[in-house]
Structure formats: C-alpha cells, structure tokens
Amino acid sequence: MARKLPSKNVVVIGLGWTGSILSYELAKAGLDVVAIERGPWRDTATDFPPSYAQDELRYAVRLDLFLRPAQETLTFRNKADQTALPIRNFSGFLPGNGVGGAGIHWNGQTWRFLPTDFRLRSHLTERYGADMLPSDMTIQDWPVSYDDLEPYYDRFEKLCGTSGKAGNIKGTKQAGGNPFEGWRSSEYPTPPLKQGLGATLFADAARKLGHSPFPQPASNLSEAYTNPLGIRMGQCSYCGFCERFGCGNYSKASPQTCVLPALLRLPNFTAQTESEVLKINLDSTGKRATGVTYVDTSGNEWEQPADIVLLCAFSLFNVQLMLVSGIGQPYDPASGQGVVGRNYAYQTTSSVSLILKDKVLNPFIATGAHGMMIDDYNGDNFDHTNLGFVGGGYMGAGQTNARPIQTRPVPKGTPKWGAEWKKATAETYQHAFSLSTHGSSYSYRDCWLDLDPTYKDRLGRPLMRMTFDFHENELKMSAYLTERLAEIAKAMNPTEMQANPRKGPYDSTIYQTTHNTGGTVMGADPKTSVLNRYCQSWDVHNLFIPGGASVFPQNHGYNPTDTVGALAYWTSDAITQRYLKNPGPLV
C-alpha cells in the first residue's frame, strides 16, 4: 500500500536531458517540481573527477554508468513468429541510468534533422510518387516543421555550447559549413574543434571527389563557454574518453555540466533518486493523471500526487510506462490499430576501415564528436530515382577514441591472439582508421514494442518486448552509402581497406547505437500517434512526454540528442505559455 505524499505541481519521471530541462524551466516559472529518478545521484565534481574518470575497464568494458539488466531489461526478437527472450547483458544498445541519463554517456554529436525529414512522407510522395515507398513502411510527417523547431534547436545548442561551423545562416550559405542543413538563426556557440590527420585526409579526398566536407557539430567544447544559465564549461582536452564516460573536465555537455548547477539552486525543485516509478496514476475518468506511484530501495511504495506528469525516462522505458499504466491504445501489428509501441525504429550504421601505412594518425587524440563529415547522402539530399530505396545518412571520419583495451586494429589475416597478433597491434595502432555512415531507420508495420506475455521485471511488471529487424530498404541504403564512402576511402590511397555495409538480421548482441526511437510517437492524427504536436498525450491532457526519442515517428540519418533537446524546450514553452493558462488539450 503506497503512502501518499503532499501534492506537487509537477512530477518529472527521470532526470536526464529532458527531465532536467523541463524541471529547470518549470521550476523557474514558479512551479513546485519533484523529479523521480530510478538510478543514483551523479555530479561532475564527485562522480567524474579527472583523476580517475578515464578508466576504460570500469566505464567502457564493465559499463559502470549503465542500467543493470537485473534492475530492468526487455525481451527481444526479430520477427513476430519468434519467441522473445530477455536481454541479460545490454550490448546492442546501452540504456543509461541515474541522474543525467544518456546525457552523461553520449559522444556529444549534435545534429539537427533536415527540413524535409519533418515532412518525410509528404515530401517523398510528392517527389517520387506513393509507389516508391514499401507498402509496410509506416513513416509519417512530424506534427511540427523545421521552422517551428529552429528556435528550440538554437536554444539547446546554446545550453550545450555546441562547437561547429554553420552552413546556412538565415538562408545564406556559409563556406565551410554543411551546405545541406536547414537554416540557422545564428552561428554555433563555439567554433569547430581542431581536426586530426585522419579527418583532414578524409576531407581532402571528399573535396577532390566533389563533396562538401565540414566539421561535425560537437557538444565537446572547442573553447571555454558560459551558457545562458550562467554555468561555465571548459575547453575539451581531446582525451578520447567521451562515449560511456562522464566528463570531469566540464567540456562535454550533459545535464550535470549544463543544467543541474542552476537547477539545484531553485528551492522549489527536489530530486528523489534511487526510486523507480511503477506507474502513472489516473483518475476515475481515465482522462487525467493524478500523479505517480514509485518504490524506493527499501521496497516502500509512495504515491506522489501532481497536477502535471512529465514522462522523461529513456525512450524505451517511456513506452513501457505508458503500457503498464494503461494510457493510450497499445499497438496491434496484425490490425495496424493502436498507437502505443507503434513505429519503433533505430539506426542503420556501417563502416569502412582502412590502414594508411605511411601516416601517423595519433588516433588517441580524440573527442566523441569531432571529425569531418559529408551530408551529400543524407535524407533526400540526393536523387533516389531508380536507387530502390529511400533514406540516407551522414558519413565521414569521426575520431571518437582509440582507448587501449578496445582499440586493437590489425591487418586482414592476422591471428586472433599470440605473438603475431601483439606485433600486428603494435604496428597498426598508429595507422588504422575507420570511416562510418550514420543511416536512417524508417518505421515499419512489423517493428514495434509491446508487453511481453511471459517475462516480468523485479517489480512484477511485464517486461517490454521489442520486435525489430532491418528491412530491405535500409540494407540497400546502407550498401549504397557504404559504396560511396568506400570511393572516398580509396581516394585516400590506403594500404588496406575493408567496407562493412550493414547486414541483416539485426543482432542485439553487437553494439551499433543507443538511438532507440518511437513507440510514443507525436503526430497530427490520434489514430497514428500517442502525442499531439506539443508532446501532450491525446488521452490524458496533463501528461506530456517532452521530447524523448520515443516521440520520433521514424529515425533519420542523424544522432537524436539535438532534436530531443529542441523538443524539450518546445514542450516547455507549450506548457508555460499555453497549458498553464488553460489546462486542457492543446490541440
């Protein structure tokens, strides 16, 4: 029996990027806010001190910052006719845990989606005709346009201090930036990071072949910066310990480095950590949320009543909480009816690895997000006529890390162990390089999330079940992009190269990305979406999912965080400027 706590104006479930942004904005607007976080408290100064934060074994191999499957996991299968089994070691994707969430362990790659991505189905139908799209592809237009979101992208990038070079400021093309990107209202807050030799060689080769390379936008700061909340960030030291690590140099943007110091000064904000929300509670009409019930580490259950509930957990767990709380109609792939769990999508990446024998690349001088990229083959930036697929992705030479345990490139044909392997790793380390593509993953009728009929979590709730596989469209896209990338790689005159296009079936034990999207999609039509254009539940007006990647109708050829952050600000404005004045459905 849950004990009832005094009511709050706002209860926030999960204190990652969206939770901390919404907490700050709403607390600053005067609301009494409590955030409930499943994992531990984490703070830059005490949890990521640079005296030991760069511990590859602890953080990258043993995954110290991530969710333990014993606490919560999901089941997985590729196809509806298979039996899903629980994931007992996260490896294909790595859900975060604790204050900061995925915003701690990300690389810092900070991309906006293309204007055409936001009206994907309309755009592709207009340009190529409806027959171009596979019949089971369930992509749809976003309920917001790029122009709607631009000011919010700008706000999130200024929060992060993102480093980069604009390619389009208010419609005017800028030399050195991404010529394909949507317009920006201003230049990046900080200039681009310095590039390594590998990225420079890639850019030269790409330019020679007629492409337009530009520095990857990075929330790993090229210089010290004070964000609009008055919080100071430091210059990146290129240590190469970003992905899977917290940044103790205050140079990678995270809720800890960009929001929490200001948020914690607000007396009307409190955080309840090590506490897992069991469900969102509804009143007898089922149309209004009354708060949440959570359980602490001692097993005590607490009811936290609130006027507004913000679901800010990691993408996959947003979907699970909606399903176990009975909010919205669960998706049924057989009939195509229902919405919660629909349009789960992911990412389709590939790589080209190369060895440049006569070059010393110093790959350890790295950040999670610097590198030179081209966007010529993303979205609909290129003509898809007769290609047999839609979609695309950015590609190029990132240099995220070359840490000693997990970076052991060797030439083809080297034994897997022994003296010869050791010799080859020593000889190859300074000369090996990897290029990659970061492709879209469109949504399909048979890729979805629902509750598992067999397996339960430690709290007795059904585990969420993921049914997902790559489709022919994505595999063709990946093959095409990887060929283009290999052409550029060849122009770098490598001693050895190998193209690795994405191959099916999807294997949940091989890491690709943690860009799990969809399941609580935002849209213009309640029949095909869970949320309206303000990330507000169609069914329960005082419940919002302010921009976790679960609201994406499909995934595009970019990393999700910039769009997640933009939607958080977009939703926050909708709540403070519209909802508070007249609580009710905003659409």
Catalytic residue numbers, as ranges: 515
Instruction: Read off the DSSP letter of residue 44.
Output: H
Angle at 377 (CA atoms; ends 372, 383), nearest 5 degrees: 155
Question: By CB under 8 A, is residue 367 in contact with another protein?
Answer: no
Q: Which of 86, 134, 261, 411 binds another protein (CB under 8 A)?
A: 261
Mapped to the 3 state alphabet, what secondary structure does 203-272 carry? HHHHHHCCCCCEECCECECCCCEECCCCCEECCCCCECCCCCCCCCCCCECCHHHHCHHHHCCCCCEEEE
Question: By CB under 8 A, is residue 271 in contact with another protein?
Answer: no
Which residue in the block uniquely carries the two structure tokens 């207009």? 126
Contact map string, positions 528 to 567, toward another protein, x by CB under 8 A: ----------------------------------------
Question: With CB under 8 A, what is the number of residues at the site for another protein?
Answer: 24
Name the residue nearer to another protein (CB basis): 25 or 457.
25
Using the contact rule CB under 8 A, the part of the chain among 134-142, 257-265, 394-402, 490-498 near another protein is 257-265
Q: What are phi and psi of 110, to 5 degrees?
A: -125, 85
Answer whether 363's CB lies under 8 Å from 371's CB: no
Question: By CB under 8 A, is residue 289 in contact with another protein?
Answer: no
In whole angstroms, how close is the CB of 235 to another protein at the nearest point? 6
Strand ordering across the sheet containing 432-439: 214-215, 371-374, 393-398, 432-439, 348-355, 496-500
Question: By CB under 8 A, is residue 362 in contact with another protein?
Answer: no
Using the contact rule CB under 8 A, the part of the chain among 48-56, 83-91, 170-178, 441-449 near another protein is 48-56
**For residues 207 and 372, what is the distance between their CA atoms, to the nearest angstrom?**
11
- Two structure tokens written together for 93: 């994707």
**For residues 551 and 9, what is the distance between their CA atoms, to the nearest angstrom?**
24
Q: Which of 20, 23, 44, 401 binds another protein (CB under 8 A)?
A: 44
Name the residue nearer to another protein (CB basis): 47 or 150.
47
Answer whether 251's CB lies under 8 Å from 220's CB: yes
Question: By CB under 8 A, is residue 178 in contact with another protein?
Answer: no
Name the residue nearer to another protein (CB basis): 171 or 230.
230
Instruction: Read off the DSSP letter of residue 245.
Output: S
Question: By CB under 8 A, is residue 170 in contact with another protein?
Answer: no
- Two structure tokens written together for 87: 């994931």
Answer whether 243's CB lies under 8 Å from 106's CB: yes
Question: By CB under 8 A, is residue 248 in contact with another protein?
Answer: yes
In whole angstroms, how close is the CB of 371 to another protein at the nearest point? 21
Question: By CB under 8 A, is residue 250 in contact with another protein?
Answer: yes
In whole angstroms, how close is the CB of 50 to another protein at the nearest point? 6
Peptide bond preceding 505: is omega within 30 degrees of 0, i.e. cis?
A: yes
Contact map string, positions 206 to 245, toward another protein, x by CB under 8 A: ------------------x-x--xxxxxxx-x-x------
Q: Which of 9, 29, 40, 50 binds another protein (CB under 8 A)?
A: 50
**For residues 370 and 108, what is the distance between their CA atoms, to the nearest angstrom?**
9
**For residues 488 and 491, what is the distance between their CA atoms, to the nearest angstrom?**
5
In whole angstroms, how close is the CB of 245 to another protein at the nearest point? 14
Instruction: Read off the DSSP letter of residue 582.
Output: S
Residue type, 57: L
Instruction: Read off the DSSP letter of residue 187.
Output: -
Question: By CB under 8 A, is residue 265 in contact with another protein?
Answer: yes
**For residues 108 and 92, what is the distance between their CA atoms, to the nearest angstrom?**
19
Question: By CB under 8 A, is residue 130 in contact with another protein?
Answer: no
Question: By CB under 8 A, is residue 186 in contact with another protein?
Answer: no
The site for another protein (CB under 8 A) is made up of: 44-46, 49-52, 224, 226, 229-235, 237, 239, 248-250, 261-262, 265
